[in-house]
Structure 1
């Protein structure tokens, strides 16, 4: 690889990194990672205790034994074949809680904000169009007046 190709590759990579999309994506990943802690806290400290009121707050313990004996030894290793449906249910609850929090705390407020912005922008554009129409009508009327005066000849009174 020549020196020119290396420089070109580095310049291309720099241009790629400095584009807005890459920076926005990096910010979203960092915020998403921080937001995950908030969601995990909500799930562990609110959702799981509510589920625990009807059973246990640790859903990982719920299993279905397919082929026995499904017994745990002293080391915690389970013999037999089982399906850990409690862990799946916990993951589903965590996902639904995450989706709900994101929707109600981020998507809905942002949609309302964008709708308000669009309404403001439409009214501003409507006012600008109305002003343009009024100015255009005034110019047109002046041109009609001037054309009538020009056609009227010397006996007409000019404005």
Structure 2
């Protein structure tokens, strides 16, 4: 019994892992983590020093003291007071905004434009198909009308009476 359930379980798990959305998600997470490292390096290596050039220190070092005089050791541990490290929060916010902007402008916006073009092409194809179907229908109606008119004005025995098959009239002399 375990031999029968083992391969089925394994095959199901393998199918789950090989589905497109699971693999795509794994790739997105790995690339996102690598990209986050790049953005954090840019913020810490370029933006924080630029802010520090306009201010008095690096962005990560900006803080306020909530209670009492804040004293920190050289290694960054707090000796007394309660510091609020708002510079670090601002740095993280900048990292997030830069990451979001790059993802939007380099990934989301181009993909949205591509999908819109694809949808327009599909709608255009469907629109021409409708025109073709409508024109075929109109041609068939014209053929039908021509056949009915031909049958009504022809030289056969039914031509003058209009009482052909399916006309709904009955001969009156019987």
TM over 0.5: yes
Matching residue of 2:101: 100
Aligned length: 156
1:58-69 aligned at under 5 Å gives the runs 58-69=58-69
- Segments of 5+ residues of structure 2 without an aligned counterpart are 160-174
Q: CA RMSD in A?
A: 2.4
Matching residue of 1:131: 132
Structure with the larger strand share: 2
Query: Which has the greater radius of gyration?
Result: 2
Kindly state the Cα deviation for residue 67 of structure 1 after the two structures are TM-superposed: 2.6
2:48–2:60 contact (8 Å) kept in structure 1: no
Structure with the larger helix share: 1
1:77-116 aligned at under 5 Å gives the runs 77-80=77-80, 81-116=82-117
Kindly state the Cα deviation for residue 104 of structure 1 after the two structures are TM-superposed: 1.8
1:3-152 aligned at under 5 Å gives the runs 3-55=3-55, 58-80=58-80, 81-152=82-153
Kindly state the Cα deviation for residue 56 of structure 1 after the two structures are TM-superposed: 5.3
Deviations, residues 86-139 of structure 1 (Å, cap 9, x unaligned):
111111111111111212222222222222222222212211111111112112
1:69–1:79 contact (8 Å) kept in structure 2: no
State the distance in 1 between where 2:102 and 2:68 align.
40
Kindly state the Cα deviation for residue 153 of structure 1 after the two structures are TM-superposed: 4.6
State the distance in 2 between where 1:56 and 1:18 align.
53
**Where do 4+ consecutive residues of structure 1 move more than 4 Å?**
none
- Which structure has more relative contact order (CA 8 Å, sep 6+)? It is 1
Distance 1:121 1:22, change over 3 A: same
